[in-house]
Each structure stands twice: as structure tokens, then as C-alpha cells.
Amino acid sequence: MTFAELGLRPELVRAVGGAGYTTPTPIQERGIPLALKGRDLIACAQTGTGKTAAFLLPILHRLAGGPRSRRPRALVVTPTRELAAQIGEMATRYGAHLRLRNTVIFGGVGMEPQTRRLRGGLDLLVATPGRLLDHLRRGQAELSHVEIVVLDEADRMLDMGFLPDVRRILGALPAKRQNLFFSATMPDEIEDLIRRTTNDPAMLEVTRRATPVGAISQIVHPVAMTSKSDLLTALLRKPETGQTLVFTRTKARANRLAKHLDKSGRRVAAIHGNKSQSARTRALAGFRTGSIDTLIATDIAARGIDVDGISHVVNFDLPTVPEDYVHRIGRTGRAGASGRAISLAAPEERSQLAAIERLVGKAIPREIVAGFAPGNAPAPLRATPRPRPRASRSPGGYRGRSAGAPGRRAARGAPAAGSNGRASR
Ligand code: AMP
């Protein structure tokens, strides 16, 4: 795949060639065509994946093709001045053969020169949230022409307390726009914001190192739903069970399981959207260093986790979206180590298991653990809690809607190629 094949205008292809890029990175290969179609995009991608070009190139493509305006038609909101400056530099570099203007505004420096630049006419505005809001409140920034907005490092903006500012900025934008949101992890607050502000988004997840599923040994333990916690406790007692990542369907089940396993002698932590970012960071750091040996996570919280040395992945609950199975188990067996994926499958999860086996193209071996045959289950004292009724809460909910077909926003379309270009500011 080349940059030209992605559908980018020749001026941009020339500029990325000049920057020394020969082939698009995975996020560019997958994200750029979708963004060019006008799709909203949610991308789980860390720094180093080429995410900046993944959003800047389609933006510049669109800006070069549309009607000229003195007001910015594209806005990138990013948490730090360093990132803002870097994005501005990249926009200038990638737009070197286009006649577009960009400017960067951030806090800690005088407002006056920024105000002049904001009023001087520009196509692309790159800003940190606090300073942009200051300009907006003083009537010095005009966002009514913005057609495409990027939230870059959304989870970091949350950590830094910028979410209220970000919400206000989004509120000042035209409702009809394209949203490109980038975040290394997907805490609940970000997921909520995304769900409220995007339209039929395509979900992209880029893990830095992929693991062939074939290298991971997989097993299914049939078990009654009510006996899963006890079975997992027994499995975790086996000496060969090292660093273990456990997936549950809901946050409540993650919490309950963490409490249950705490008594098992394992050093356990849970991460999910209700935990503060600092608690999540602490848990992940502990898991990396080994002070925690069992990490319980929901699919959404686990996005962006990139930890070597995970020996076991346990599907405490089978995922409702079969592709999540592959994402989950791909977290073990990295860097040439052997990995083991264990799935606890209750009779009521039969259809999920069948969908997973169809996806991986083979039957996964079953092994009943003595004393845990599904028929041996104690009668439940009370009903197992049902999943939350909001369908979009389900892990991978966005992914389910992401494939190929253009969304409603696609009607707005990408601009036609072919406008001539010159240097950008
Ligand atoms: P980012 O993830 O946007 O912070 O980009 C990380 C680094 O990768 C930057 O230094 C980019 O210049 C570089 N980069 C982005 N896209 C490509 C590509 N397709 N080929 C080689 N390097 C790239």
C-alpha cells in the first residue's frame, strides 16, 4: 500500500515522500480512507503509531479542496503546548505544496499575537483547550466554520482536567461536522463523550505488536456461570499461572471478581472506567513490574494496554463481539513467549463460543475441570445480574458498526482532488 493508493491528493503524496515516509503505518492505512470518506473516527492509538499524519493528511486533503474561508475549517485540540507545536510543524510540513494556513495557540504566552493570527485568516487551528476557551470567551476565536475536529490524546486531556473545557469547545462547533478522536486508552468519561458527540463512528484499534493467534494455546473450560469465580480461583493456584489478564463483561463483575480473588493469595487489581486514571495507571504499573499478578479488566479499559510477559489471558466472560476474543488473547504470547488463553464458558454462552470458533476457524478444545462440570453447579442464591440494557455499553460496540459501509456523514463527502497548492504558513 502506498500513500497515493490511499486516495490523497498528489501534493500530499509528494510532501510525505519528502518527509521520508515510504509506506503508511497501520493507522494511516486504515484511518485515512475512512476519514477521506467523511466518516467519524475513534482511534485507540498511542504516540509512535503515526496517528498525527493519520488525521492531518485527510484534513489537509479536505481543506485544499473546499471553499476558501477566513475562519478555520479544521480544529485540532491537543493537551500540551509541545504536542500543539509538533502538530503545527507537521501540518506545515505535510501542507508544504498546498496553499493553506495554520496556526498554533497555547497558554503561557501572550494572547495578543495569537489574537492577531486568529483574525488574520487561517484554515487549520491547532490549540490547547484552556487557551482556546480564553480566546472564545473574549470573542477572539470564531469556530462557526469548523467542518472537522480532532481530539488528540483525549485520555490525557481527561487526566489533565481539560474535559469540561473540551466539552465547551465542542459545544461551540457546528453540529454538522466530522469528528476524529484519538486516545491511547478508552476510559468511560471519554467513551461517554465520544458516544454523545460522534455519528456512526468507525472504531480503529492499533496495537503496536500483533501476535499471531496460532502461537497461543487455547482451551475452553465449560462451567456453570455461578461457579466461574471458584474455578478461576482454582486455576490461578496452579504454579504455572504467571501474569494473568482476566476479562469480564461488566465493571460490576470486574469489581466482584477482584474481591473474590483477593482472598485467593493472588495480588489482584481491577481496571475499568469507574476507576480514576491514577488508580488505573498504578494498577498497570504494578502489573508491568509484577507487584500485581492478576489484572481484571473490561474490554474498553484494556484498550491500549501494551504489557509484555502476560502468560495467561482468561475470558472470565466470553465477549459478545467475537473479534474481541482475538484482541484479548493477542495480549499473551508476545515477544516470542508462549501464551495460554483460557475461556470459562457457561451453557448460556454457547452462541458466543460458536461465533468465536467460526471467527478463528477451528474448534477450541474443551476440558472439564474436576468438580466444575456445568451440571455440578450450586443453585444460584439470586439471579445473575443482567448486562446493562444500553447496547452501546457493550465492549466493542463501536467496532460492531465500523465496517466498510459509509455512515450518514459520508453524504457530506470528501472534497474533490485537484486544487493547486503552494506553501502553507
Ligand atoms: P506520531 O504517532 O504521530 O507521534 O508519529 C510518530 C513518528 O512517526 C513521527 O516522527 C512521524 O514523523 C513518523 N511517521 C509518521 N508516519 C510515518 C510513516 N508512514 N512512515 C515513517 N514514519 C512515519
Residue, of 208 and 108, whose pLDDT is higher:
108
Task: Give the residue among 356, 345, 364, 342 at the shortest CA–CA distance from 396.
Answer: 356
Instruction: Render pLDDT for 366-378 as a digit per residue (tens, 0 to 9).
Output: 999 999 998 755 5
383 pLDDT tier (thresholds 50, 70, 90):
very low
CA 205/CA 104 separation, integer angstroms: 28
CA 295/CA 252 separation, integer angstroms: 15
Ligand 1 atom with least separation from CA of 19: 12
Instruction: Write the CATH number of the domain with boundaries 4-205.
Output: 3.40.50.300
Q: Which of 162-171, 265-274, 408-417 has the lowest mean pLDDT?
A: 408-417
Q: What is the pLDDT of residue 214?
A: 62
CA 154/CA 161 separation, integer angstroms: 11
- Rounded average pLDDT over 402-408: 31
Can you give the pTM of this predicted structure? 0.56
Instruction: Render pLDDT for 278-296 as a digit per residue (tens, 0 to 9).
Output: 777 788 889 888 899 999 9
CA 268/CA 264 separation, integer angstroms: 9
Task: Give the residue among 140, 123, 132 at the shortest CA–CA distance from 168.
Answer: 132
Q: Which of 62-71, 217-226, 270-279 has the lowest mean pLDDT?
A: 270-279
**For ligand 1, is residue 328 a contact (CB within 6 Å)?**
no
86 CA to middle of ligand 1, Å?
A: 12
- Rounded average pLDDT over 77-104: 93
162 CA to middle of ligand 1, Å?
A: 26
273 CA to middle of ligand 1, Å?
A: 30
Nearest CA to ligand 1 atom 21: 21
% of the chain at pLDDT higher than 90: 52
What does pLDDT average to over the chain?
A: 82
3-class secondary structure, 182: strand
CB count, 10 Å around CB of 274?
16
Q: What is the pLDDT of residue 385?
A: 45
Ranges of beta strands (E only) in 209-335 are 216-222, 244-247, 268-271, 294-297, 312-315
Nearest CA to ligand 1 atom 18: 21
Q: Which of 144-153, 172-181, 206-215 has the lowest mean pLDDT?
A: 206-215
CB count, 10 Å around CB of 211?
19
Q: Name the pairing type of β-strands 124-127 and 178-183.
A: unpaired
CA 256/CA 171 separation, integer angstroms: 38
CA 220/CA 131 separation, integer angstroms: 53
Q: What are phi and psi of 39, to 5 degrees?
A: -70, 145
CATH class of 216-376: alpha beta
**For ligand 1, is residue 24 a contact (CB within 6 Å)?**
yes
Q: Which of 106-115, 212-221, 291-300 has the lowest mean pLDDT?
A: 212-221
Domain(s) labelled CATH 3.40.50.300 in the chain stretch across: 4-205, 216-376
Q: Are 209 and 117 in contact (CB under 8 A)?
A: no
Q: What is the pLDDT of residue 9?
A: 96
CA 363/CA 352 separation, integer angstroms: 13
Q: What 8-state DSSP symbol labels residue 387?
A: P
CA 304/CA 70 separation, integer angstroms: 38
Q: What is the pLDDT of residue 59?
A: 98
> Is 60 exceeded by the pLDDT of residue 246?
yes
- Residue 48, CA distances (Å) to 16, 25, 109, 239, 401 in order: 16, 10, 28, 37, 27
Ligand 1 atom with least separation from CA of 86: 4
